């Protein structure tokens, strides 16, 4: 699976689970096991937790609401959904393991809903702090990313992937036109 975590924020990485939005779109969260895999790889859920079809439907609705909100298309329904999901945020608690204090998160909503709540809370932070979300400039990418560059002029989701390809393509075009 082509999971990427170049969005710069967890909620943007969730948005990027639908690829090629500028075309017809390519869904990566095709079933509950894929959502479980993504949540585990993103560090939001331990391996082995069961994800239901209902969890998957909620994650996709949340993802699309976050996408619209980060593009500035604010609707009351999207705000309500993000707030409802975020309300299930896990509460930090203190646990003593091997004589040392450790912070753990507890939620009555269950681990999957708690993970989605963390993503919704992250979206609230992104939307309310004026973060600049951009779309990768590489012609067939379209991934979203947080532009935290000093000049706010970052072009690619990842320099290692799209930036290098774009620069190599431009270099090839310059060499080809110089030979002509």
Q: Which domain holds residue 145?
A: 10-179
Q: For 33-143, where are the E strands, in sequence order?
A: 91-97, 100-106, 133-135
Q: What is the mean pLDDT of each run of 10 residues along the chain (180 residues)?
A: 84 93 85 95 87 97 96 93 92 80 75 94 92 79 79 66 61 63
Amino acid 32: pLDDT:
96
Please say whether the beta carbons of 14 and 62 come within 8 A.
yes
- Check which CATH number belongs to the domain holding 73 and give it: 1.10.3300.10
Q: What is the pLDDT of residue 155?
A: 66
Provide the domain count of the chain: 1
pLDDT of residue 143: 81
**pLDDT in the model for residue 33:** 95
pTM: 0.81
């Amino acid at each position: 699976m082509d999971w990427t975590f170049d969005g710069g924020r967890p909620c943007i990485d969730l948005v990027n689970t639908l690829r090629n939005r500028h075309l017809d779109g390519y869904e990566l969260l095709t079933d509950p096991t894929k959502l479980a895999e993504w949540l585990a790889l993103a560090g939001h859920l331990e391996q082995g937790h069961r994800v239901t079809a209902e969890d998957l439907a909620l994650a996709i609705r949340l993802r699309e609401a976050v996408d619209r909100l980060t593009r500035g298309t604010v609707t009351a329904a999207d705000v309500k959904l993000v707030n409802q999901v975020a309300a299930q945020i896990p509460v930090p608690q203190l646990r003593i393991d091997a004589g040392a204090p450790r912070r753990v998160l507890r939620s009555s909503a269950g681990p999957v809903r708690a993970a989605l709540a963390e993503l919704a809370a992250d979206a609230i932070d992104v939307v309310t702090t004026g973060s600049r979300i951009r779309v990768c400039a590489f012609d067939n990418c379209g991934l979203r990313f947080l532009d935290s560059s000093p000049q706010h002029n970052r072009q690619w989701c990842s320099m290692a992937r799209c930036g290098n390809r774009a620069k190599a393509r431009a270099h090839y075009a310059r060499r080809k036109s110089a030979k002509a």
